[in-house]
Each structure stands twice: as structure tokens, then as C-alpha cells.
Structure 1
Amino acid sequence: MEVVMSLSPRLDRELKTITVMVQIYCRNHHKSAATQANTLCEDCSGFLEYARKRLAHCPFAQQKPTCGNCTIHCYKKDMQAKAKQIMRYSGPRMLWRHPILAIFHLLDSRKKSPDPSHRHQKK
């Protein structure tokens, strides 16, 4: 049984963005039966589930900056490297396949990270 997490609109958009990025990356790097069936391979599926959990527990919530601008690096080192690899490959390709998500991501990346000492305050 899958647990559905309720996310703020900002985190929901971030989840959609990372999901699309992982799909683009997996489709072009992991030629397997799973990618042919338009699903993710086991490795990418595991990474996406990890990213979902991290987003669900993000202390910044609605004020969350993009991961590259964040003052708190909540991903493990190996997952952080995987995220960079996926984002570097998929980011430019998102402009063609999902231009609206790409533009929102670019706009979000221009926002400054909130002060980490205020991260647990709800607004």
C-alpha cells in the first residue's frame, strides 16, 4: 500500500520537476525492458523514492530553494552525486519537453535560501 504524502504547492512542483528529470535521464541512459515499458529502472526508481522522502521532510516547506541553493544538504553524498548527474543531463532537455516546469525551476533557482535558523517556523 502506497502512502500518499501531502506536499505544499512549491514542494509538489519540485517533486514533479525531479520526477520528469529522472524519467528523461533513465529513458536515455538505461535501455532496459522497464524503460521500454515507459517505467523507471530499479536504480532510478530507488533514487526517485529517496528524493520524495527528502522533499516530504524538507524543513523549508513553501520557502524551499532549489537544492543547488540550499544551505542544508539533506541528500547522502552518493545520492547528491546522482542528483547532480541527473540534473546536469536532464535540465537542458527539460526546456524542450517540459518548458513550463523548466522555467519555474529556473525562477526558483534565482531565489535565495532562507536563513537555516528559521527553517522550522511555519508561515
Structure 2
Amino acid sequence: MTPSNNLLKQEYETIKTMIRMYCKKIHDCEEGLCQECSDLLNYAEERLNNCKFGENKPTCDTCSIHCYKPDMREKIREAMRYAGPRMIYTHPIMGFRHLFKKMKMKKKENLEE
């Protein structure tokens, strides 16, 4: 089950793409995801479905609430650290959308200070 509103669906698709890129290269999975990455994707989906911010969800690194367990947070960071820069070349629209959202949230955070 994917998140219900469009912005969270986009966020889910971005996370799914990042995890797939990471799993393919780091875990050598040509088809689908390995069990570890599949568990990570399911966990990320659950977190998105239960996000209290809904459509106003910030990017995870700018969020005031850290809803990921520490071990899962480290795994998602690792996948994002690998896939994020590469998405600009392989999935440019998705990559730029994520980058602009992150910049927008940081700008908003700076204005509130």
C-alpha cells in the first residue's frame, strides 16, 4: 500500500528509486531488491503512511521529529547518500524535485530563526 496523497506518493517513489539504485549497485541485485533493502523500503513506506505532517512533510534531514529507528535511519541515509547525487543523471526530474524541496525547507527554517 502506497501513501494516499500525491506529495507523499512522490516522496515514496523517490525513496523507492533511491533504494533500488543503491541495492542494484551495492548489493548487486539486478532484479528487485534484496531482503534488507525490501525491509527498508517497507519501513520507509510505513513511516510515510504515518507521518503526522502529511502533505507538509519536510525532508527527513530537516524534520523536527525523527521517526526512524536509529538503525533504519542509518540505512536510509546510506542509500540516500549513494543514490541522491546519481539521481540527477538517471532520474533528473525526481532528483531535482527532491533537491528543491530540501532547499525550500532549509530556507523556511532559516527564516523562522
Verify same fold: TM over 0.5: yes
Q: Which of 82, 92, 101 pairs up with 2:94? A: 101
SS of aligned partner of 1:62:
helix
Match of 2:4 in 1: 7
Q: Percent identity?
A: 42
Q: Taking structure 1 as reference, are residues 70 and 49 closer, same or farther at Cα in structure 2, changes over 3 Å only?
A: same
Match of 1:20 in 2: 17
How many residue pairs match? The answer is: 108
- What is the TM-score normalised by the length of structure 1? 0.82
Which structure is higher in helix share? 2
- Structure 1: unaligned runs, 5 residues or longer: 115-123
- What is the TM-score normalised by the length of structure 2? 0.89
Moved runs in structure 1, 4+ residues, more than 3 A?
A: none
Q: Which of 67, 71, 87 pairs up with 1:74? A: 67
Q: How far apart in 1 are the matches of 2:46 and 2:5?
A: 14
- Structure 2: unaligned runs, 5 residues or longer: 109-113
- Mapped contact 2:47–2:68 kept (Cα < 8 A): yes
Looking at CA atoms only, which structure, 1 or 2, has the larger radius of gyration? 1
Q: How far apart in 1 are the matches of 2:12 and 2:3?
A: 11
Superposed, 1:51-90 pairs within 5 Å as: 51-90=44-83
Q: How far apart in 2 are the matches of 1:13 and 1:5?
A: 10
Match of 1:117 in 2: none
Once superposed, what is the RMSD of the aligned Cα atoms? 1.7
Letter in 1 for 2:21: I
